[in-house]
């Protein structure tokens, strides 16, 4: 995503987001963050979080990371 494009976009609420559209500007707070391990291994598969907007709607976010989370 080009950060310059975000300046021209208005904030949307989570309930206004549409599937398969990849660029949104949202204002949220991070409620929870956790690392999840791959099934039957000790490898972390990424970082999970729950985001909540001003209206109280929530969405889960998954970020696949290329760094080893055990060192963070």
Average pLDDT over residues 17-34: 92
Instruction: Write down the pLDDT at residue 1.
Output: 47
Find residue 37's DSSP bridge partners: 44
Q: Per-residue pLDDT tens for 33-70?
A: 998 887 778 788 789 999 999 999 999 999 887 755 55
- Within 10 angstroms of residue 61's Cβ, the number of other Cβ atoms is 13
Domain total in the chain? 1
- Domain limits for position 17: 3-71
Distances in Å between the Cα of 19 and the Cα atoms of 4, 14, 24, 34, 54 are 23, 11, 11, 24, 20
pLDDT band at 32 (very low <50, low <70, confident <90, very high): very high
The yes-or-no verdict on residue 9 having pLDDT over 80 is no
Burial label, 50 (beta-carbon count in 10 A; 0-12, 13-18, 19+): middle
């Amino acid at each position: 995503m080009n950060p310059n494009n975000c300046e021209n976009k208005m904030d949307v609420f989570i309930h206004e987001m549409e599937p398969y559209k990849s660029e949104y500007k949202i204002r949220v707070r991070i409620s929870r963050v956790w690392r999840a391990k791959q099934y039957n291994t000790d490898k972390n598969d990424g970082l999970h979080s729950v985001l909540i907007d001003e209206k109280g709607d929530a969405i889960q976010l998954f970020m696949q990371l290329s760094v080893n989370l055990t060192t963070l």
